Amino acid sequence: MARLATLLFAVAAVLGAASAAPAEKRDSHQGRGTWYDTGLGACGWNNVNSDTVVALPAGAYASGAHCGQHLTVKNVETGATASATVADMCPGCGPNDIDMTPGLFQQLGSLDAGVLTVSWSV
């Protein structure tokens, strides 16, 4: 009986430790979202304007650490959201700003707007 109690205690301790693991931290941003004509991106892939691709600011791009990562971009004013893939770097963007392909931007607003207030996280 003592062995069974010890075994149950050990299993409970392992399960408790596993459920206490911290959740993945995501770095959230809110800034300007603009669009650009694509081509060969900083991640090394050739992108086309219909792709749903995002270019991150240099700090968030982190030398390509997020290449291929999927993220959600939200138009703060309308609530519209779209999924995107990190495939480029935006050297002219501020630390919270992103540049989007026309295909992505149009899911959030009109190209005529030129600039949207967006939130995103990596």
| C-alpha 79, offset from chain centre | 17
User: Is 1 domain-assigned?
Assistant: no
**Domain boundaries, position 65:** 24-121
Residue 88 DSSP SS3: strand
- pTM of the prediction? 0.78
pLDDT band at 8; cut points 50, 70, 90: very low
Domain total in the chain = 1
Domain assignment present for 98 = yes
Domain assignment of residue 2, yes or no? no
Residue 68's nearest CA partner among 91, 42, 104 is 42
Q: Does a structural domain hold residue 80?
A: yes
Give the domain CATH number at 67.
2.40.40.10
Of the candidates 76, 75, 86, 78, the residue with the CA atom closest to the CA atom of residue 51: 86
The tens digit of pLDDT for each residue in 71-104 reads 999 999 999 999 999 999 999 999 999 999 999 9
